[in-house]
Structure 1
Amino acid sequence: MTSSISRLPSNTLRHQDAATEKPLAAANKPVIKMAGQPPTPPAPKLIIGQHQRTLPSSSNPNPIPLLSFFTALITSKLSNPPLPSSVDPELVLAGNFAPVDETPPTDCSVVHGQLPSSLDGVYIRNGPNPHLRPRGLAHHLFDGDGMLHSIRLSRGRATFCSRYVQSYKLKLERENGCAMIPSVFSGFYCLADVGRLVVALARVVTGRINLAQGFGLANTSVALFCNTLFAMIETDRPYAIRLTENGDIETTGRFDFGGEAPINMTAHPKVDSETGEVFSFQFFPFFPYLTFFRFDSNGSKRQKVPIFSMKKASYIHDFALTKRYAIFPESQLEVSAMNLMALKGMPMKFRPTAQPRIGIIPRNAESDSEMRWFTVPGFNAFHIINAWEEEDEDSIVLVVPRALSLENFLGRIEKVHFSLQKLRINMKSGAISSTLLSERSLELGSINAAYLGKKNRYLFMAVAEAVPKMSGVVKIDLESGREVASRSYGPGCFGGEALFVARDGAGDEDDGFVVSYVHNEMANESQFVVMDAKSPALEVVAAVRLPGRVPYGFHGLFVGEKQLETVEPWPTGLSST
């Protein structure tokens, strides 16, 4: 059952691509030049169709003479080899992956249908949006400063806003007018890349960079815990954010759980809806690679469990939580600092001989000795949509998009097929079985949040074109094990994560809406689309024309109006860094 929404209207206001657009702001700092130093190159142009946009250069001279000398030497003496297409900024930052400017709160028009009264609240989605244009530097899609795109819905009206997360890295680079903390994730490809890291380390030594204040991009997800909204990334601590009454977004600070949090944590923490406890983990490139921890509802640490039985830096992005267990999926991707030092690109490598495992540990465990590992050949998963314990308490069920052809994940993600499967693990016998739920490539999905960690029936999954660029939505019935509804966004139209929002007072699990930002690449226009989750064709009940283009991004969250009234800008009684 497949339907298609009509092409997005072509008269939406163009944003970020018009000739009258202002360039991204860069600090106008005085520059000290060394004798013989080459002149600062003009800021490069980002070409989008017939329009061009000037972005600040990421390689302005450094105001400290010695560091300026080394920066100039690196730029002028060490030539960069051709970059792989996956990290070539001219290719990566093209089309609707190109960065946009901030948009202040702006009223929007409903161009189709009517916004449901039970949908009053805020939808807010995170994603990468580099504020500096990489000049001759590698840039992976997953890099880029975090930008939050929110739409506030109230009594049939909509207000849209886009704001950068005010991370330490962003503020530091704006103050200095140049890139200060190099992107390690995009990789090292020549000696110049190593040289830039040396310069950054020199800035740390001289006190120009204080890593204790942060180093991440805050570009992956939005989470609500300790009664506060956070922008998240797995390589740093979370940043608390505040939504104002007029629809604006403010960053209130970097949160460290009162000094008890590790230096980084997953972008996908889990909250027990009954106790308010927060469960999370730290994945780290050095041993111990995995540390499981939890906090109470006030943000005070309860327990930290280093997982010493994990002997390799097998990449773990997400985990699952059931009534009694936490579940961690190892993959065949391994973090490798040697890849960087050997100038082989990104700090990850695919290990075809590695045997993926699923680790299951009691969620109230006190030591690694309680962790059990189950080997599942070829099982690579980055997100777990849901997991629960069966009534006999002998089996655990996981619903997971399994990544096939994983060797393409970092370079040619469009070649990775995400096979949605239901995996059953017998905790007594160790037997594992799996059921294929769809032939399509499905990722970036959601469930009714009230069923997190409990047996549920329905999933809403985005159809993968090239994650995070998604061509439609599919509804899966876990009881029948098949698709029961689907919707294509139409030719040239792509969305992102399919987020389910339950209707107020709903009795049925699937009574609600599926929402996403959808971009029309032919008209270069974006909409906020609301679909009826119970409809056999996921009918569009409302579409809001947005004042600007919304780049493809990662994960989002909906906060209802009643809950929004109780959200605090900062967890009570806890400090920031």
Structure 2
Amino acid sequence: MTTSIRNPYLEGNFAPVSDEVSVDDLPLTGTLPSELNGRYLRIGPNPTGSDETGSGHHWFVGRGMVHGIRLRDGRAEWYRNRFVHGDVPEDSPNTNILAQGGRLLALVEGGGAPVSIAPDLNRMSTWDVGGALQDGFTAHPKIDPVTGEMHAINYLIRPGADHLRYVVLDATGKATHTAELPVSGVPMVHDMAMTATRVVVLDLPVTLSMDAVGRLEAGAPENGDALPMRWNEEHPSRVGVLPRGGTADQMTWFDAPRCYVFHVLNAYDAPDGSIVMDVVRYDTVFRDSFRGPADGLPALARWTIAPDRGTVSEQIISDRSVEWPRINPQRAGRSHRYGWFGATGPDSLRLSDDVNRDLGGSFEPGPLVKFDTTTGEASTHHFGTGRVTQEPTFVARPGAEAEDDGWILSVVHDGNTDRSELVVLDAADVTAAPVARVRLPRRVPFGFHGNWVADNEIGA
């Protein structure tokens, strides 16, 4: 008798929604700040067919869907959700959406090109910057708040791929620099770090599994094979440092803590020449649980890269499990004090029964956390019983001088009603009652990343 294996990443609010809707004049409580003129956008996988929801399904894989809420002059003008599609059906990024060079761009890592999306979300096309991104892009580029440059470390999920590609786009979206950075084993490079002068490359022990690739090619995928990356005990854990706009011959590698990092909060140059880098780190991923990052809970750590000593030291700076780190984007690459996160909490690692313990599991969201890296103080906003959030987005108040003077926007799922809201908090005091809550016409499935895009960033 064959035991059926449940996949928690296809259940509850991880489950996809089936259709596209457009709803105007959204109801709200509280008062939306009139300065919020733009779009709050989120994206995530929305698997639709048997090829995406079969036994090999992994949370990170599936056709992309973008969710957008248009705010203007204190009103929530519309909500829309759209499947992401480029010039061919395979072009459907599902991991991040942001603005660069006057365009809205949906992004994915591992070989997919960005898709440019119109401000109304109704027109889309593949965008490869005249061929500069023909080998794909990343979900986590870094944008310099002073120059407007976008720095990206890209990798290919392809057997035999022997390099990463470092790409720099200027503020207009033109590619100004590319460099190949040799690596072995096809490491999964989900994120990177950038300071005012340097770039940090993460080469950590999650790599392409040829066993998983073989099962995919044979049409017999097993649990999580749709993303054929696995923890690799033989692969080193290291970080590479090179000058911004640099090449492989300028790269210096350093042994790093043995762990995996999906997301970097921020990095900056210290006065003594070291790099201070705050990361969300996992002891392992894709070693015990293959459908998502459910081996264990993450921790917030500070890495100090000391080039003069050739070392990377680690300090766990918060005992609270958090993910989806965000800062005031004006501090990107510069010293920061505050970070905002979605908490994961002690009950967030939900494993299936013992029979399928090594195959199931899911990564559950929780409340919102603001962390002060100077004092170590954490402040939490609990949205209520059954109400959880994922990634926060910081929006600065016009003319703000303080680092935390602004608002936090995030989508909250209400498990009691199976609906979602866009919640606006005071970034300086996240424990206070929400500034405003915009009721959305449907639930927004747990996805990955999103951003606030002001009208002046895309000319609309």
**Structure 2 CA distance for partners of 1:136 and 1:399, relative to 1, 3 Å:** closer
Unaligned runs of 5+ in 1: 1-80, 171-214, 568-577
Query: Paired residue for 2:241?
Result: 360
* AA matched with 2:146: E
What letter corresponds to residue 141 of structure 1 in structure 2? Answer: W
Which of 111, 122, 139 matches 1:267?
A: 139
Residue identity matched to 1:354? H
Structure 2 CA distance for partners of 1:409 and 1:232, relative to 1, 3 Å? farther
Question: What is the Cα deviation at residue 252 of structure 1?
Answer: 3.0
The one-letter code matched in structure 1 to 2:154 is Q
Q: Which amino acid aligns with 1:164?
A: F
Pick one of 6, 12, 19 that aligns with 1:95. 12
- Partner letter of residue 528 of structure 1? L
Aligned-partner Cα distance in 1 for 2:141–2:419? 33
Letter in 2 for 1:402: R
Residue 418 to residue 502, structure 1, CA distance change in 2 (3 Å): same
Indicate the SS of the match to 1:354: coil
Matches within 5 A, 1:162-201: 162-168=81-87, 170=89
TM-score normalized by the length of structure 2: 0.87
Q: Which moved more, 1:517-526 or 1:128-137?
A: 128-137
Aligned partner (choices 235, 253, 276) of residue 397 of structure 1: 276
Task: Please identify, of 333-342 and 153-162, the stretch whose mean Cα deviation from structure 2 is larger.
Answer: 333-342
Shift of 1:136: 4.8
Residue 161 of structure 2 corresponds to residue 242 of structure 1 = no
Paired residue type of 1:239:
V
Distance 1:454 1:351 in 2: 33
Distance in 1 (alpha carbons) for counterparts of 2:399 and 2:192: 29
Whose helix fraction is larger, Structure 1's or Structure 2's? 1
- Aligned Cα RMSD in Å? 2.3
**In 2: Cα distance, 1:563 partner to 1:418 partner:** 34
- Corresponding residue for residue 356 of structure 2: none
- SS of residue paired to 1:437: strand
Residue in 2 that maps onto 1:326? 199
State the alpha-carbon separation in 2 of the partners of residues 84 and 315 from structure 1: 26
2:171 corresponds, among 275, 297, 319, to 297
For residues 216 and 514 of structure 1, do their structure 2 counterparts lie closer, same or farther at Cα, with a shift above 3 Å needed? same
SS at match of 1:563: helix
Pair 514,409 (structure 1): closer, same or farther in 2 beyond 3 Å: farther
* Partner residue of 2:162 out of 280, 288, 291: 288
SS at match of 1:142: coil
Shift of 1:414: 3.7
3-state DSSP of counterpart to 1:440: coil
- Provide the C-alpha distance between the structure 2 equivalents of 1:274 and 1:553, rounded to a whole number of angstroms: 30
Displacement of 1:412 in angstroms is: 5.8
Unaligned runs of 5+ in 2: 350-361
Structure 1 position 151, deviation (Å): 0.8
The verdict on how the C-alpha distance between 1:338 and 1:414 changes in structure 2, with shifts beyond 3 A counting, is closer
The answer on whether the counterparts of 1:510 and 1:534 sit within 8 Å (CA) in structure 2 is yes
AA of the residue aligned to 1:295: L
Quickly say closer, same or farther: Cα 1:492–1:265, change in 2 above 3 A.
same
- Residue in 2 that maps onto 1:77: none
**Structure 2 CA distance for partners of 1:96 and 1:344, relative to 1, 3 Å:** closer
Contact 2:58–2:291 (CA<8 Å) still a contact in 1?
no
Is 2:123 the counterpart of 1:255?
no
Whole-angstrom distance in 2 between the partners of 1:137 and 1:339: 13
* C-alpha displacement of 1:141: 1.6
How far apart, in 1, do the equivalents of 2:230 and 2:430 lie? 42
Note the alpha carbon deviations across 1:397-452, whole angstroms, 9 max, x for none: 00100112422453463442111011111111123322222112111020000010
Matched AA of 1:359: G
- Bigger mean CA offset, 454-463 vs 312-321: 312-321
Corresponding residue number in structure 2 for 1:225: 100
SS of the residue aligned with 1:96? helix
Q: Select which of 430, 445, 450 maps to 1:551.
A: 445
Note if contact 1:355-1:377 (Cα within 8 Å) is conserved in structure 2: no
Counterpart AA for 2:39: V
Deviations 1:219-239 (A, max 9, x none): 110021122110111131100
1:336: how far off? 2.0
Same amino acid, percent of matched pairs? 32
1:513 is aligned, of 394, 398, 407, to 407
Match in the other structure for 2:48:
131
Alpha-carbon distance between aligned partners in 2 of 1:536 and 1:148, rounded to the nearest angstrom: 26
Partner secondary structure for residue 250 of structure 1: coil
Judging by fraction of residues, say which structure has more strand: 2
Alpha-carbon distance in structure 2 between the residues aligned to 1:491 and 1:298: 45
Q: What letter is aligned with 1:151?
A: I
State whether structure 2 residue 3 is matched by structure 1 residue 109. no
8 Å CA contact retained: 1:514, 1:531? yes
Report what 2:36 is aligned to: 119
**Per-residue CA shift, 1:49-89, capped at 9, x if unaligned?**
xxxxxxxxxxxxxxxxxxxxxxxxxxxxxxxx76754xx4x
Shift of 1:251: 3.0
Alignment TM-score, normalising by the size of structure 1:
0.70
Match of 1:315 in 2: 188
